[in-house]
Amino acid sequence: MKRITLLLVAAVVLTAGSLLLIRNQQSVRIESESTSVQSSLSRLENLSDRSVVTLLVNEDPLQVEVVKTAESITLGLSGRSEIGRDGMLFILPTQRIATFWMKDMLFDLDMIWIDEDKIISITADVSAPPALTASQSAPKLPTYSSIVPVTHVLEVPAGTAREKNWQIGAPVVITR
């Protein structure tokens, strides 16, 4: 059954130029411009999913959890009461326009869009959706996308990019 699911996901990627990740009827769409990834962060490709590494973002060291499987990318930080580390780094399977949402998020984030080894754009202070009561239906959640194809997305607590004065073009380097 898992093989059939993987083949179906692969077919979506190949035919539609996008990746639709589905987990327990939740989906995250990551649109693609299928280009292979080659960067200084490519050493992360050999790490296990959920590994922890040290990144230097504009010379600021961060301990980040690395997610790279479809299931882990889809789940992300959903349902956690805190980030757990300094952030979460999403390794995308190919360079692409990445689209994320805040389903089941319990805290606010900054989304740092990275291509190869530099910050391409920053989506700051993304609010967690409001808590719902049992009688409320879930609202349609906004999505957040990179403005150009990226290879990685870094999620950090809201305000981090402003506090550390990260700017577009700042270097991102793995130190291990």
Q: Residue 20: is its pLDDT beyond 70?
A: no
Instruction: Count the domains in the chain.
Output: 1
pLDDT of residue 120: 97
Q: How do residues 26-47 score in pLDDT, each as one tens digit? A: 334 433 333 333 455 666 667 8
- What is the residue range of 93's domain? 33-174
d(CA 98, CA 89): 13
Tell whether 96 is covered by a domain.
yes
pLDDT of residue 6: 35
Residues 6+ apart with CB under 8 A from 75: 23, 67
pLDDT (average), residues 127-142: 76
Tell whether 23 is covered by a domain.
no
Tell whether 145 is covered by a domain.
yes
d(CA 69, CA 23): 12
**Better-scored residue on pLDDT, 23 or 90:** 90
pLDDT (average), residues 116-122: 95
Q: What are the CA-CA distances from residue 104 to residues 7, 22, 77, 93, 107 (Å)?
A: 28, 15, 8, 24, 9
Cα angle 158-160-165, degrees, rounded to a multiple of 5: 135
CATH value at residue 138: 2.60.120.1140
d(CA 60, CA 172): 9
Tell whether 53 is covered by a domain.
yes
Tell whether 62 is covered by a domain.
yes
Tell whether 26 is covered by a domain.
no
